[in-house]
Structure 1
């Protein structure tokens, strides 16, 4: 029975779109991964520590890009409304990035000295990421998944070329940060050239109309996403505050490597899952949506399990062989963290179900719980109990497995609620 269901699933349009995404995104992830052994020899643990801290801060600020309106581009029946959402999200992004550039320098004193100069690049990162995100969601609406895949490949190539160049000349201590931003810029120009959407003057009344129609996205999306992002970066923030630069640098490489399958499989699957689930919900085909949700969960689990087992049993050896003797400790961290990344790989791509069903309020409850429990757990372990870093990571893994299992259950019951009531809420 399972093999028959899997056969139908693998031959579906959805599966072909996922395969296209994974092929392109796989290439995009493979290239930086292949370059990382060179980068670990061009950059020091301190360089990786700055890179890790910068993107912990930058990703928190990036939550507000576009007012989250770019996520709604997939939904409207009318193409004009989708175009207006596209324009609105970019306008908001420009204004938001300007405010960051104006205000963030006033607070540089709260950050470590080796990070302060890099923080001037938070605003450019937010700007290009926000515009890039708008184009990505416009492509999702048009089912142009191959275009998105190519864009991610270009993003990776731009990052690699810039990182190797900056690492070779040793011009900046935050060369990895600049390289990452340049990769996003290159990807943006490609998307702009390929997209049918264009930034243009739209009457304010039309922008206000779509802003009001989809107001739940900024209203209930930004807050929970902010809490979620801060929670995801909590470990970096705690390591920055209570542990050594060496600990943070080694964790930075671990995070970079383990994030590869999350981006490869998770983001590729999430884009197509969102489009398909939004379509099923729009047509009130809730029983089909439930079946699709279950098949997606099994598919993601089958992809996640082998990765977790390989890292758990061979993490230290692999990091030693691939990245060099100086990075064995990163492999030790990867062995501990394998299953926390695995459960996130299964559950996170399915979280777009809250966008598709317009139930962001429900998601926000979990986000608040996750935020509070994550920081409470880590602060008690680091500041009060003063656990060594490896013990801290073990506690963090247990917490992640419990909270993400709860998140998956909530996703399931959101669809079950739709089936029971037989209408959108």
Structure 2
């Protein structure tokens, strides 16, 4: 790439950011209306639902959908695609059958909404599989359109239910509807169609890429629980009001993370996988460093705005009662920065088939995050803002370690 700004990679990122940016901007623009339609309790309920659903969604497809990008042979890619769909359907049915056993572990106010978790997991898993098909074939425009449709369906459903009051759990149902609509679009635009392969042939494919479920599911489960640890601790030890305020903070911060982080990660994965497959290791390392710098330059202005003006912005945009959410956003600004820079680059472990290294960090992250939060909530009896400060320090330290491991992993290929 002699001119980074004119490369195919940059064009793909631009396409992703344009489409995904709109997909993130629409819910963000609709949030001031949602904060006037829904209460703090509604946001608290949605935040808890999404945290739990995200944890159960870790196992979708057995993580095989992440391998769709890798094989050069089309038949092998189609087999991985079919395998991922089969596993997702079976896994969702299993959750639906066993889910009543998990209800006693959650607060009573979540009982009814938990029944939506298996449904969301099913369609999220299928959607994720089609997203990776899109990445493989570089149909990033369709990928971006799908995310826009997801946002539009979510907004219309949420506001419609919220204003009409004809159903409970408007934000939760809207999340499911948006995922279904987005998947249907991807299904129509997919460059490959679902084919029924024999279980014997899929068995060999599953064995060949066994590292994805073997080293991907459990570490990712720990990682997801860690990412949702703050929500889980707030749900258990703090007030519903604090959880509701944090819920809005989470929704707003997710917008730029989705706009920049997710868009960049999709295209970064395709490019870095190609470079590694072609054994162009020096070029891959240079590309990794340029990507890290680009992400840092995008993250710094957002972090500064959140840190200095978060409380004021939230009060003006969402109403004075939501200024507390802006205070939370100011505290979490530096955590946001390190995640935005480091998380998209984690695809390096998939591209280099070194998932074991990533799993070691995820175990470390799980242990330290829960240790810090439980100590702060149960032993030190910190208030919610003090707990957030401690959480941010842990995030900065752990993600710095993660970045070093990423850089070291790709550097080792050059010295071979």
TM (norm. structure 2) is: 0.99
Distance in 1, matches of 2:214 and 2:303, equals: 36
Distance in 2, matches of 1:330 and 1:379, equals: 22
1:35 matched to which residue of 2? 30
Distance in 2, matches of 1:201 and 1:12, equals: 38
Cα deviation for residue 341 of structure 1 reads 0.9
2:323 matched to which residue of 1? 328
Distance in 2, matches of 1:45 and 1:170, equals: 16
Cα deviation for residue 110 of structure 1 reads 2.1
**2:411 matched to 1:378?**
no
1:138 matched to which residue of 2? 133
Match of 1:217 among 202, 212, 218: 212
**2:21 matched to 1:26?**
yes
Match of 1:178 among 170, 173, 176: 173
Match of 1:287 among 276, 282, 291: 282
**2:108 matched to 1:113?**
yes
Distance in 2, matches of 1:88 and 1:372, equals: 32
Q: After superposition, what is the alpha-carbon deviation per residue over 1:322-369, rounded to whole angstroms, capped at 9, x for unaligned?
A: 000110100000010011011100000000000000000011110000
1:352 matched to which residue of 2? 347
Distance in 2, matches of 1:200 and 1:37, equals: 44
- Bigger drift between 164-173 and 308-317 goes to 164-173
Q: After superposition, what is the alpha-carbon deviation per residue over 1:18-46, rounded to whole angstroms, capped at 9, x for unaligned?
A: 00000000000000000000000000000
Question: Aligned to 1:284, what secondary structure does the other structure show?
Answer: coil
Match of 1:407 among 402, 407, 412: 402
Match of 2:77 among 62, 76, 82: 82
* Aligned length in residues: 416
Distance in 2, matches of 1:39 and 1:328, equals: 15
Match of 2:388 among 393, 411, 415: 393
Distance in 1, matches of 2:401 and 2:103, equals: 37
- Mapping for residues 296-335 of structure 1, pairs under 5 Å: 296-335=291-330
Contact 1:47 1:173 in 2 (8 A): no
Distance in 1, matches of 2:369 and 2:203, equals: 37
**2:252 matched to 1:257?**
yes
**2:234 matched to 1:239?**
yes
Distance in 2, matches of 1:330 and 1:170, equals: 25
Cα deviation for residue 107 of structure 1 reads 2.1
Distance in 2, matches of 1:242 and 1:320, equals: 26
2:144 matched to which residue of 1? 149
Q: After superposition, what is the alpha-carbon deviation per residue over 1:152-203, rounded to whole angstroms, capped at 9, x for unaligned?
A: 0000000000000110022344110100110000001100000022223111
Distance in 2, matches of 1:43 and 1:201, equals: 44
4+ residue runs over 3 A deviation: none
Question: Aligned to 2:96, what secondary structure does the other structure show?
Answer: helix
Contact 1:234 1:375 in 2 (8 A): yes
Cα deviation for residue 9 of structure 1 reads 1.1
Contact 2:78 2:195 in 1 (8 A): no
Distance in 2, matches of 1:189 and 1:127, equals: 13
Q: Report the aligned-residue RMSD.
A: 0.9
Contact 2:69 2:136 in 1 (8 A): yes
